[in-house]
Amino acid sequence: MTFMPHPGVSAAVRTFLSKPHPLFIGGEWVEPVGGGSFSTFDPATGAHLAEIGEAEAADVDRAVMAARAAFDGPWSRLSARARANLLFRLADLITLHQDTFEQLEVLDNGMPRFVARATVSSRPDLFRYYAGWPERIEGATIPNSGYRAPGDELFTYTLREPVGVAGLIAPWNVPLAIACLKLAPALAAGCTVVLKPAELTPLSALLLGELIAEADFPPGVVNIVNGVGAVVGAAIAQHPGIDKVSFTGSTAVGKSIVQAAAGNLKRVSLELGGKAPVIIFADADLETTLPAVVGAIYGLQGQNCMAATRIYVESKIFDRVVAEAARLADEMKLGHGMDADSQLGPIISERHRDRVMSLIDSGLAEGAELVTGGRALEGPGYFVSPAVFADTQPNMRIMRDEIFGPVGCFQRFADGDLEGVAAAANDTEYGLAAGVWTTNLSKAHRMARMVRAGQMSINCHGATGVNIPFGGFKQSGWGREFAKDGLDLYLETKSVTARF
């Protein structure tokens, strides 16, 4: 197949795409055991991008062996300062190659360039943040109050040690960002890793592998195995040589990973689905609220676990809010992510576009009013025009299922009914993100207490940061990423007591 490049694609990206893309195991680029490969495509045009080596379970075995050898060998002998310096070096290399990363994210995922710029540019800071932790991983001394014989002196202290070999399974919606979000704390903690990028978006992880080699990480510390989730992801989840799995993706797949991990009771952290409620009160500053909420609905084409998909609006302003949201949605420019004026890119694949359209159709069948959008556009690529549904009901599929597409569902609530709207917001199996818009801070903080979500925003949406813990309640996941909480996912506590 021939790659038909977008006119804005750089020579560096063309060169990268033209190279072979095998597996990265034990510090070397190696062919898969079975010799298989798969293609990756530009979802905005359907154009072929590259051929990717396709791993099998036997390749996961090789990667785990390499990771274990590194963990038991050179990686464990490195000082905390040396480990930190490698993370700083990798951060500098990502900065040096930022333009290439941005273009690969656009081509592989379809996201607009401004989104790629924001997600890529923050990754060096993530590595630098975690590079500050290896020398700050500390235990404690503990007074011993347990039984001891007369005259015994006891001294107890704790050690914080890496959990071991970590399997990292990254999603396709923000490929580089989430791969780095898992990789940086795992390496800072002293783990070695087997990283599986999503089969739909493997390119940025493969470039990251090249930079890891250039940064002189010891062989086997980072291993990258491309392949299908049902094969490679499943092999990682159930592998007895892996001590911990970190997964970001759907709740259904997260449940299957928990079941597979039971074999050796490996530790599991999960960042799963969401159905974020956003509550707009009549006293909100609508001039700033509405553009921000529309951006929260359609950012990344709605393919975002924090996407504002359920919008609850106080009754007295409901019609105005829906009309303005529809106007803003209609004005959004859909196009290839490399085009400077594009605000929305395509859905990731034909299969996922069909799923989004089936949910839109279900909304119509169940009686919701489609105010605008919700059409699969003709021509190349998998574009869906941003949809606004009005007067939705809580039992509708579009209000209950994670759509992961550009669909906003608006529902009115009675004026002043804080308890009622909080109950509606909590009426979901998910609990990842939520938001409230009001100029009354007392009301805002009351809602923050009443809504059950791991990330609550007031007069903003999804304001994550490297030092802010992020994760979900209920079926939105286990554990917290970012900040020190993200480091703790990869550490064990050992208690040591000495008698003297």
Which residues are the active-site residues? 271, 305
Structure tokens at 320: 């105005």
Structure tokens at 230: 């049902």
Reduced 3-state DSSP string for 51-89: EEECCCHHHHHHHHHHHHHHHHCHHHHCCHHHHHHHHHH
DSSP 435-459: EEE-S-HHHHHHHHHHS--SEEEES
Task: Tell me the CA distances in angstroms from 164 to 28, 192, 366, 489, one per residue in order.
Answer: 21, 7, 50, 11
Whole-angstrom Cα distance, residue 168 to residue 185? 11
Tell me which DSSP letter residue 351 carries: H
Q: How far is C-alpha 14 from the chain's CA centre?
A: 27
Whole-angstrom Cα distance, residue 296 to residue 70? 42
**The one-letter amino acid at 363:** G
Query: Cβ distance 185 to 487 under 8 Å?
Result: yes
Whole-angstrom Cα distance, residue 123 to residue 183? 11
Query: Cβ distance 377 to 353 under 8 Å?
Result: no
Query: Cβ distance 39 to 31 under 8 Å?
Result: no
Residue recorded with tokens 């997964």: 247
CB-based contacts of 454: which residues, under 8 Å, 6+ apart?
431, 432, 433, 470, 471, 472, 473, 476, 477, 480
Residue recorded with tokens 């007031």: 458
Whole-angstrom Cα distance, residue 346 to residue 377? 10
Whole-angstrom Cα distance, residue 453 to residue 430? 8
DSSP 261-324: HTTTT-EEEEE----EEEEE-TTS-HHHHHHHHHHHHHGGGG-STT-EEEEEEEGGGHHHHHHH
